[in-house]
Structure 1
Amino acid sequence: MPDDLLKTLGFPDWQDVSGQGSVVGLYPAGQRCGLYVLGFADGERYVGQAVDVAKRFLQHRKTYADLTGITFKVVPKDELDSEEQRCIHALEAAGMLLRNFTHMSVVRGDRPFDDVVTPQEQEAWLDGSADLQDDPPHVHDESLRRRQRRKFEQFMTLPHAQDALVLLGLYLQATVPFPRRTEQNFWTVTCLPYGLGKEASLYCRVNLNMQETFSVYGNENGLDVSIHLAVSPLAEFLGSDWQAQLAEGEYEVTGHRYQPGGQDQTEVLAFGKDHAVTLISAGPMTLAMALLNLRLMRRGACYWPGSHNPQLSDAGMEAFELALPSLGLDLE
């Protein structure tokens, strides 16, 4: 049981705080710096850190009327961040329902994204339903297009621009929920984020919420691609040796994670256009990318709408549609 895991993580037995306004009597002065877990009447939990748990409890009591229990362990101040993250990841992986937002892979409850893509549509999309319809192109901000035009023109002069467009379009169509409907608000693509002239130029990057998920780099040999994706579908469909299977395909698993996507993610590198096409269109890999992207969009809107390049997204989706017959893919 997840609550049993609390003891293995060093937390003592629960203290009943139903109706109590303070925990000053539970934790002596000088021993109040550490991690706590709050318990609620519906069975959910919340993991937090505090330099003074008694003061922090008073703040939570104002927020949560259904607070019923607390367990607390002393942790040195300089270890609070790392220990909090470790505990959240362990409890989430064990199936504990947490009210936390930071460090979580899955954000539960009603979200603004539900107003754009209904929960039923989200579930059907993740299951691969072929009956779903996206919206037509809708980013008509002429001021944004004027600001981004020069970068797009520079992009199109790059030696592997057309292949990069195909990869971008494939990624958007295969792994981003309703890309036209959610464009700019819940995902953006930046064009030449660092400009030109570098040995390994960053052609473009897709961002969701506060995290990059897809980057295309150009070099003298062609294109390299970095993709962040969820790990759990890979372990489920490929087995515990999923990393070895990717290594056999000459993909590199870096283990890199960003905080917004939570602990259930990693970065995979592909080398060359064909190598990347195979990665993006392979069933379990596509699902792993789609799952992380949906989770990120449920966290909230993209933080960089003004950096979106609508010309690039338009060209990418058009290039992919034109190339689809030659790619031999079935994304239905």
Structure 2
Amino acid sequence: MPAADGRCGIYVLSFDGGQLYVGQAVDVVSRFSDHRKTYGDIAEMYFWRVAQARLDDFEQQAIHALQAEGFLLRNVIYASGRLGASDLDTLVSAGEQQQWFASVPSEYLGDDERPNRPQVRIANQSRFERLATDARLAAVLPAVRRYLAWTIPSPRRTEFSRWSISAVPDTNKNSAPRMLTITLHSLETLHVWAPFEEQHRTIFELNVDLATMQRHWPDPDDLHEAFGAAFVQDCIYRVRPGVLRLAVEGARNFMRLLDLGGVVEAARRLNLDMIRKGSALQWKSHSFGLADLLLEPPAVPTEHKGPDPLSRGLAADALGDLPRAKHFYRVAAGTGQPEAAFRLGDLHTELRDDEQATFWYARAERDGYHGVRRSPDFGNTYALMELAMHHVQEGDPSTAVHFYQRAICSGSTEAYAELGLLLEELGEATEAEVAYERSGQAGHGLGWFGLASMRLQEGNTEQAEALYRRAVDAGHLGSLINIGLMQQERGEDALAEASFRKAAKARFPNAEFLLGNIAVLRNDRTAAVKHYSRALKWGNTDGLIGLGQVLEADGDQDGAESHYRQAAEAGNPGGLVNLAMLYALRHDDERAEAYCREAAQAGYPDAYADLADMLRDEGRPEAAERYDRVATV
């Protein structure tokens, strides 16, 4: 293959056993030399000259065509992402990749020398130090360490160049702040987070290959049942189609998820695909401090050093290391400890092995240990709640009720409240009231909030306010907004502002919007802009409307219109109403009425009446009467 004729193109290696390997190369002679070092059974090579810009397309076409003809390919990746030749092969050889992909998952992280970039380490040290003070980290580390060991090839060798881990990244920091995120090339494959107001929780969201999971679990409902509950969602990424997201709550459940059939294979398929695409694009945020904790050999926890196998089993169980827990429970049960037999029953219940669960429960009871059996759905309330909410959004309330009830059985007090909200929406007020009350009595403020809102609709303001205060005492600080609104109606403006400020301090965006309205009444433009902007930053599009009204008061109608239009495009019907008012002031009644009609269709039935009131205030009673007539039609 003379260099003068060109050595850039697509090649196919044929091996003694009939297998093929499709690849691409800018210099196929050099590439063939590399393959000879990896494979000792190459029989033939075929080569086609292809322009460098078209290598990816031709390579994929060749792979798909050969697969369609029934040939067995040695390619590590078959049909997605960057195929064949990859810079990764110079770091982890193709043979190592194939061997790793087919291997049994191991806790061994390797002994490769890790990279070190002092400047990057220093730049991200403060974020690592923030994470190091998080009480949740100790339980999360073993789970993330297992993910690295089981699903990323040579994690120490590929650290920084192919994958990165960020400590407390800024993603969704005002609503769902993250503890950490692992990124391969440009795709976040694992992140751990919690809702802003519930920072004691840890929710693991894992991306895996969709096709692999579908091969193991054609019906997602089977996956839910086998695991107890795992929230499953198809994700669309431009960088890599065919991604499935699995979500569970707690490190223990994440460890269990990795043990579920097909999950590690699907994670490996996606991860290998991504790191073959190219270098880690988020290397600037890589936390070497966090990686130190994950990749350096950890000390054996003191609770694993004791002589008591039951204690060691309980410690492993708490971390989600179920195989280790099962081992120690069996040892303890063999020495005559009935609690260990009971714990084995619990484990087999979780694993849906009813026969073994019954055996061990019976043995524990025979030896005098009578415990409270754990539900198979224990600890999976996040996924159950997410599944319920998903079915609400899909318009399937009966299935949503089923999942809420399962979440209740697994110990969720929030599920009672959410069930109450759904039942109330379905018109089942009596059942909703029972659900709200049970949630409140179990200590969840959302239950008292729901009950208070029912009393307010009934006109019982005194009892409603008392229930809102119970909700606040139970931790539902959003109820302060409702209390503040009731105080405003009574003319207790100072008390109302204090309630709004407490809610704003707890990061309720609607409270910031209401504080902006108060600032407007005081003619404090600076404070109004600050509060409206903060409401918008935290996700409340009413902030756009407030900012638009400030601009309109300044005489900047174009700026106001832009803000109202942004609010309308974000789905806020108040934006449409304000656009209608703006055009009515410009005497463009045709467009004003069109926006009113659109607002009414979007769920703002008082749009015409509000516009009429505004026109009366502006000294245009005839125009106001016109909209009053339209409103009554």
Q: TM-score range by the shorter chain?
A: 0.5 to 0.7
Is this contact kept in 2: 1:170–1:317, CA < 8 A? no
- Aligned partner of 2:222 in structure 1 is 245
- Aligned partner of 2:267 in structure 1 is 289
Q: Does residue 225 of the first structure (1) align with residue 211 of the second (2)? A: no
TM-aligned CA distance change 1:200 to 1:318, over 3 Å: farther
Q: 1:305 aligns with which of 252, 265, 283?
A: 283
Q: TM-score, normalised by structure 1?
A: 0.63
Distance in 2 (alpha carbons) for counterparts of 1:125 and 1:61? 33
Deviates more, 1:198-207 or 1:287-296: 198-207
Give how far 1:194 is off.
1.2
Distance in 1 (alpha carbons) for counterparts of 2:323 and 2:290? 22
Distance in 2 (alpha carbons) for counterparts of 1:209 and 1:62? 22
Q: 1:111 aligns with which of 86, 95, 100?
A: 86
Give how far 1:107 is off.
2.6
- Aligned partner of 1:176 in structure 2 is 152
Aligned to 2:85, what secondary structure does the other structure show? coil
Task: Give deviations 1:265-305, integer Å, cap 9, x for gaps.
Answer: 21111112211111123341111111100011111111121
- Aligned partner of 2:187 in structure 1 is 211
Aligned to 2:202, what secondary structure does the other structure show? strand
Distance in 2 (alpha carbons) for counterparts of 1:61 and 1:138? 37
Q: TM-score, normalised by structure 2?
A: 0.35
Aligned to 1:154, what secondary structure does the other structure show? helix
Give how far 1:201 is off.
2.2
Is this contact kept in 2: 1:134–1:178, CA < 8 A? yes
Q: Does residue 200 of the first structure (1) align with residue 176 of the second (2)? A: yes
Distance in 2 (alpha carbons) for counterparts of 1:270 and 1:287? 18
Q: 1:163 aligns with which of 139, 147, 150?
A: 139
Is this contact kept in 1: 2:178–2:191, CA < 8 A? yes
Give how far 1:128 is off.
1.2
TM-aligned CA distance change 1:269 to 1:123, over 3 Å: same
Aligned to 1:261, what secondary structure does the other structure show? coil
Task: Give deviations 1:12-66, integer Å, cap 9, x for gaps.
Answer: xxxxxxxxxxxxxxxxxxxxxxxxxxxx999x9xxxxxxxxxxxxxxx989669x
Is this contact kept in 1: 2:86–2:276, CA < 8 A? yes
Aligned to 2:239, what secondary structure does the other structure show? helix
Give how far 1:124 is off.
0.7
Is this contact kept in 2: 1:191–1:204, CA < 8 A? yes
Is this contact kept in 2: 1:166–1:317, CA < 8 A? no
Q: 2:236 aligns with which of 257, 264, 268?
A: 257
Is this contact kept in 1: 2:109–2:149, CA < 8 A? no
Distance in 1 (alpha carbons) for counterparts of 2:54 and 2:166? 40
Aligned to 2:236, what secondary structure does the other structure show? coil
- Aligned partner of 1:85 in structure 2 is none
Distance in 1 (alpha carbons) for counterparts of 2:253 and 2:105? 26
Distance in 1 (alpha carbons) for counterparts of 2:279 and 2:289? 20
Aligned to 1:255, what secondary structure does the other structure show? strand
Aligned to 2:164, what secondary structure does the other structure show? strand
Aligned to 1:270, what secondary structure does the other structure show? strand
Return the letter of the residue paired with 1:246. Answer: L
Return the letter of the residue paired with 2:214. Answer: A
Q: Which runs of 5+ in 1 are unaligned?
A: 1-39, 45-59, 69-87, 98-103
Distance in 1 (alpha carbons) for counterparts of 2:175 and 2:93? 44
4+ residue stretches of structure 1 with deviation over 3 A?
A: 60-65, 91-97, 129-133, 195-200, 218-221, 317-325
Is this contact kept in 2: 1:246–1:252, CA < 8 A? no
Q: 2:251 aligns with which of 253, 273, 279?
A: 273
Is this contact kept in 2: 1:233–1:287, CA < 8 A? yes
Q: Does residue 121 of the first structure (1) align with residue 99 of the second (2)? A: no
Is this contact kept in 2: 1:187–1:206, CA < 8 A? yes
Task: Give deviations 1:170-202, integer Å, cap 9, x for gaps.
Answer: 211111111000000000001111189745320
Q: 2:125 aligns with which of 149, 152, 157?
A: 149
- Aligned Cα root-mean-square deviation (Å): 3.7
Q: 1:185 aligns with which of 155, 161, 164?
A: 161
Q: RCO greater where, 1 or 2, for CA within 8 Å and sep 6 or more? A: 1
Return the letter of the residue paired with 2:223. Answer: L
Distance in 2 (alpha carbons) for counterparts of 1:259 and 1:164? 30
TM-aligned CA distance change 1:106 to 1:194, over 3 Å: closer
Q: Which has more strand, going by share of residues? A: 1
Is this contact kept in 1: 2:143–2:251, CA < 8 A? yes
The count of residues paired between Structure 1 and Structure 2 equals 245
Aligned to 1:260, what secondary structure does the other structure show? coil
Give how far 1:151 is off.
0.9
Distance in 2 (alpha carbons) for counterparts of 1:130 and 1:251? 21
TM-aligned CA distance change 1:159 to 1:260, over 3 Å: same
Q: Is the radius of gyration larger for structure 1 or structure 2?
A: 2
Give how far 1:134 is off.
2.8
TM-aligned CA distance change 1:246 to 1:283, over 3 Å: closer
Distance in 2 (alpha carbons) for counterparts of 1:280 and 1:320? 20
Distance in 2 (alpha carbons) for counterparts of 1:321 and 1:128? 26
Return the letter of the residue paired with 1:295. Answer: D
Distance in 1 (alpha carbons) for counterparts of 2:295 and 2:149? 7
Is this contact kept in 2: 1:165–1:320, CA < 8 A? no
Q: Which runs of 5+ in 2 are unaligned?
A: 1-9, 13-21, 23-49, 70-78, 305-315, 325-633
Give how far 1:321 is off.
7.0
Q: Which has more helix, going by share of residues? A: 2
Q: 2:294 aligns with which of 316, 322, 327?
A: 316
Distance in 1 (alpha carbons) for counterparts of 2:54 and 2:115? 40
Distance in 2 (alpha carbons) for counterparts of 1:165 and 1:134? 17
